[in-house]
Amino acid sequence: MAAGAGIGGGILFVGIFYLILRYSSSLAVPLSNFAIFGAFALVCFLNGLVAGMLGAGAGTITSFILVEMKLNPEVLTATSALIVLLASSSTAIQYLLIGLVPYAKGFWFFGVTLICFPIGKLTLNYLVRKYKRAALILFTFAIAITVSAVLMCYNTIDALLHQSHKNKISQFCN
């Protein structure tokens, strides 16, 4: 998207400013750059808005923008992982502060993550070095996002089907 907006968007906006609106070429190019930057900022804003409304992490949705920017897969996954870490940590702290942390489940998931993360990371690093394909990182990331989306849809449908009629919203949000 960003690469396409940079080249294709530049051609589109310069054409609009120069040919249709009759601006000079010295003014059309800076206006085109500003319009592309504004469009990218709008996409990022909408990204955050959609992530917040759907409950999907900003790191997950931001990764699609980073893929379109043609970032190196290692940089892309590291950036997305950092965003997910920051967002999930702040959410966990918020739940902890208002007393909604189920400690048994929290410690169980922490333990599973502590064990499985290094195993997955080392396995993926080994496969990338063995096959010399950094795209394996993107495929792994895409599979994780797909599984998350399917499970989120399942969870939502299950919550909608098994809730009582008098407390629809409160049960759905819990």
User: What is the residue-wise DSSP string for 89-112?
Assistant: HHHHHHHHHTT---HHHHHHHHHH
In this prediction the pTM is: 0.48
| CA count, 13 A, side-chain hemisphere, 142 | 9
Per-residue pLDDT of the chain (174 residues; tens, 9 = 90+): 334 344 555 566 667 777 777 777 777 777 777 777 777 778 778 777 776 666 566 666 677 777 777 788 778 878 877 877 777 777 778 888 888 878 888 888 889 988 998 898 899 889 989 998 888 887 887 888 788 888 888 888 888 887 755 555 454 455
User: What is the residue-wise DSSP string for 24-91?
Assistant: -HHHHHHHHHHHHHHHHHHHHHHHHHHHHHHT--HHHHHHHHHHHTT--HHHHHHHHHHHHHHHHHHH
Distance set, CA 26 to CA 21, 38, 65 (Å): 14, 19, 30
Task: Quote the DSSP letter at residue 92.
Answer: H
What are phi and psi for residue 126, nearest 5 degrees?
A: -60, -45
**Separation between Cα atoms, residue 8 and residue 1, nearest integer Å:** 10
CB 77 within 8 A of CB 137: yes
- What is the per-residue pLDDT for 89? 79
Written in H, E and C, the secondary structure of 121-157 is HHHHHHHHHHHCCCHHHHHHHHHHHHHHHHHHHHHHH
CB 47 within 8 A of CB 62: yes
- What is the per-residue pLDDT for 168? 52
- Residue that the structure tokens 């906006």 belong to: 13
- What is the per-residue pLDDT for 4? 38
- What is the per-residue pLDDT for 161? 83
Taking the alpha carbons at both ends of the chain, their separation in whole angstroms is 36
